[in-house]
Amino acid sequence: MGYKAEAGKLLMTNGLFIRKIRLPEINGQYLLEEYRPHDGEFGFLEPVSEEFSFLLSGVRYTGASTWKQVGITPVEGLEEGEGVTVSLEASDGSVRVWLTYIWYPESPFIRKSLKIQNCTDVEKILESVDVEKMAIVEYSAPTFSWIYSDYGRKKSIGPYRGNLQDSLIIVHHPEWEAGIVLGNEAPGVLKGASVWSRGREITLGLTHHDEEFPFRKYLKPGEIFHVPEVFTGVYGGQKDIHKVLNHMLPDYERKYMGFCIDKIAEKPVCVYNTWEPFECDISEQLVMETAEAAATAGIREYVIDDGWQDCYGDWGAHPVKFPNGLKPVVDHIKSLGMKAGLWVSIGTASPESKVYKEHPEWFLKDKRGKDISLVIDADNKLTACFSTGWAEYITRVLERLVDEYGFEYLKLDFSVVSSPYRYTGEEAGCYADNHPGHRDREESMWVNYNRMWEVFDKLHEGREKLFIDCTFETMGGLQLIDYAMLKHAEGNWLSNFDGEKGAKTDLRIRQMAWWRSPAMPATSLVIGNAQMQDEGYENHLRSLAGALPILCGDPRKVPEEDRRVFRRYADWLMKMEEKYRIMGYRQDLPGYFEPATGGCDGFARINRDTFSGGIIGFFRHGGAEETRKVCVDGLPEDAMYRVLDMDGSELLQMSGKQLEWEGFPVSIEERFGGRIYEIARIGSW
């Protein structure tokens, strides 16, 4: 196990995979010669691959270039994993690279990073970076493999060019029952991937110079650039990707990737947000009244959305709507036993704001040199550029709001790099030529993402309970969430499903939760805008139990008896979280797929660390059958489990093996309805 470097080869293995690199001697090549599961046949890769690639001021460097090996050292400070770093210097002396590989026990994934240093005495332009570059065999793999893109949910035959939604791609060959998992930790629109669309190879890293949102970084003499990590996993013996997507992948992500949602001590379980139906029409009185009603319905977190502020950018309380400031309403929310949250636009200011008038140089320019809003065209919105003093300014604003009022949830909104509502790459980034943090528009995209991450990290310092909700608008794409964001923020407001009541809303909630999970942690999926006063609200609650349960609406309009029902669900979910930590998990039910009209669908949230139990949600959405079998896989075969209704009454007992292979019947009389159950392990574990 581990790694071995001898006879010009570097061998890495943990018993689940083998990866072999050809090492250069004094002047030689650094090439991937073997990468496969430890056991069984694996026919994807050519005998030699270039391993990595990048452009430095137009000169391409790959593993097939001529390199001198500088050193091979173990990675220090890993708790459970192992790792090795290989340092190389180009034969022309102009660049040095460090390639780091980290792997963990009982996981088939390798996390790989690349650092690049400009060793010349002149500035260089870094572009088109591929951290992974693997050559694929000529015929069978490209022709017969399925490519699962778009969070592992969209199935197609190649060639395929990745985009902003491709944190995860799985290439699966059904005849070989084998495949390759491709995970990309680059941010937002800068994710780059190709599956035999740039030739007969797979690449993974940052966008290329010829793409719509090109990555670019200017490297000063001696400067080192750390490329975002990628991870890959090779597997065999799988007829489909169900176990890869639902067991192997989320286990690795949860344990080893360092997501913020996995570090926070108390995950949100039942949240209320004021956005719908009030939008910006909120006030001290409305917040006081709705908070009281929400508390009686079992809400645990109350978030004040847009409309509380005096002006975008200055972020003081509106003097008419909140004449006594925010303190009385926040104190009232807390007195009712709820945590308080606040909406703020992290990168937007009004032309009338004090900050814009004092620092107009901090704001983003379009290609004509004009101030612009990346969100939507509006007279009261301009977008700031984080490569200026704006990053320090907005950090101070947010720290003041959190520390002065004790907010434990921040919803940070509006675009900072690209817009989900503009449809050309030219309408992204900052074209200013005098901002200190970027040389041009291409470099600004990288800088703005990473300076925003620094703001998030600063906010987390000493504030362990803070939940940061980085919206899809902030990420810069429709319903966009990714691994880069998850390392700096806990959640992502993915949607605004407006104007839809009852079953239509439920279906869209479950579709969105299915689409983004299990590639993304379910509790990071903040899906709006189910309203509390809707008819059929119980299915809102059941559907939302598969993601982060968040509700909008006017709780004052919910009758007292219905509020008791809300509290029953909220209390039950809190109990399930306390017993099983369900908010850290989500799995597909085997045999059920994307929620759709005319069918049935469901989810499980089983603790895969203790296997102590969890919950199951199951839904009939217009399907003809009242009763369907539900199976749960991945449990210890010999362990015994109880299936319980929400009131604690036992429905049946089954072993883990029986739950997977026999299942149990669920009857739903309503054509559009759902049920939710507890799965509890019997005995000690």
What was the pLDDT predicted at 157?
Answer: 95
CATH of domain 261-581: 3.20.20.70
Distance CA 409, CA 338 (A): 11
Residue span(s) of the chain under CATH 2.70.98.60 come to 2-257
Q: Please give the C-alpha separations between residue 199 and each of 42, 125, 136, 154, 625, in angstroms, as whole numbers.
A: 20, 24, 9, 22, 48
What was the pLDDT predicted at 501?
Answer: 76
Distance CA 147, CA 546 (A): 26
Distance CA 417, CA 106 (A): 38
Confidence of residue 503 (pLDDT cuts 50, 70, 90): confident
Mean pLDDT of 412-420: 97
Q: What are phi and psi of 566, to 5 degrees?
A: -55, -45
Distance CA 623, CA 666 (A): 13
Contact 197, 181 (CB under 8 A): no
**Prediction pTM value:** 0.97
Arithmetic mean of pLDDT over the chain = 96
User: How far is C-alpha 396 from the chain's CA centre?
Assistant: 26
Task: Say whether pLDDT at 428 is over 80.
Answer: yes
Task: Say whether pLDDT at 356 is over 80.
Answer: yes
Task: Say whether pLDDT at 684 is over 70.
Answer: no
Name the nearest CA neighbour of 203 among 193, 214, 191, 190.
193
Hey, what's the torsion of the CAs at 159, 162, 167, 169, to 10 degrees? 0
Task: Say whether pLDDT at 685 is over 90.
Answer: no
Question: For 644-673, how does the pLDDT look when each residue is reduced to its tens digit (9 = 90+)?
Answer: 999 999 999 999 999 999 999 999 999 999
Confidence of residue 26 (pLDDT cuts 50, 70, 90): confident
Three-class secondary structure of residue 153 per DSSP: coil
CATH of domain 2-257: 2.70.98.60
What was the pLDDT predicted at 1?
Answer: 65
Residue span(s) of the chain under CATH 2.60.40.1180 come to 587-681
Question: For 432-471, how does the pLDDT look when each residue is reduced to its tens digit (9 = 90+)?
Answer: 999 999 999 999 999 999 999 999 999 999 999 999 999 9
Confidence of residue 338 (pLDDT cuts 50, 70, 90): very high
Task: Say whether pLDDT at 498 is over 90.
Answer: no
Mean pLDDT of 409-437: 95
Distance CA 377, CA 388 (A): 22
381: number of Cβ within 10 Å:
21
Task: Say whether pLDDT at 480 is over 90.
Answer: yes
Contact 604, 611 (CB under 8 A): no
Residue span(s) of the chain under CATH 3.20.20.70 come to 261-581
Contact 553, 580 (CB under 8 A): no
Mean pLDDT of 224-238: 98
Task: Say whether pLDDT at 15 is over 80.
Answer: yes
Mean pLDDT of 332-336: 98
Confidence of residue 25 (pLDDT cuts 50, 70, 90): confident
Mean pLDDT of 259-275: 96
Question: For 273-302, how does the pLDDT look when each residue is reduced to its tens digit (9 = 90+)?
Answer: 999 999 999 999 999 999 999 999 999 999
Q: Which ranges of 319-408 would DSSP assign to H, the alpha helix?
A: 327-335, 354-358, 390-405
Confidence of residue 571 (pLDDT cuts 50, 70, 90): very high
Confidence of residue 311 (pLDDT cuts 50, 70, 90): very high
Q: Considering the chain, what percentage of its residues have pLDDT values greater than 70?
A: 99
Task: Say whether pLDDT at 401 is over 70.
Answer: yes
The architecture (CATH level 2) of 587-681 comes to: Sandwich (2.60)
Which conformational region is residue 34 in: left (phi greater than 0), alpha (psi within -120 to 50 degrees), or beta? Answer: beta
What was the pLDDT predicted at 676?
Answer: 98
Question: For 55-112, how does the pLDDT look when each residue is reduced to its tens digit (9 = 90+)?
Answer: 999 999 999 999 999 999 999 888 789 999 999 999 999 999 999 999 999 999 999 9
Mean pLDDT of 572-587: 98
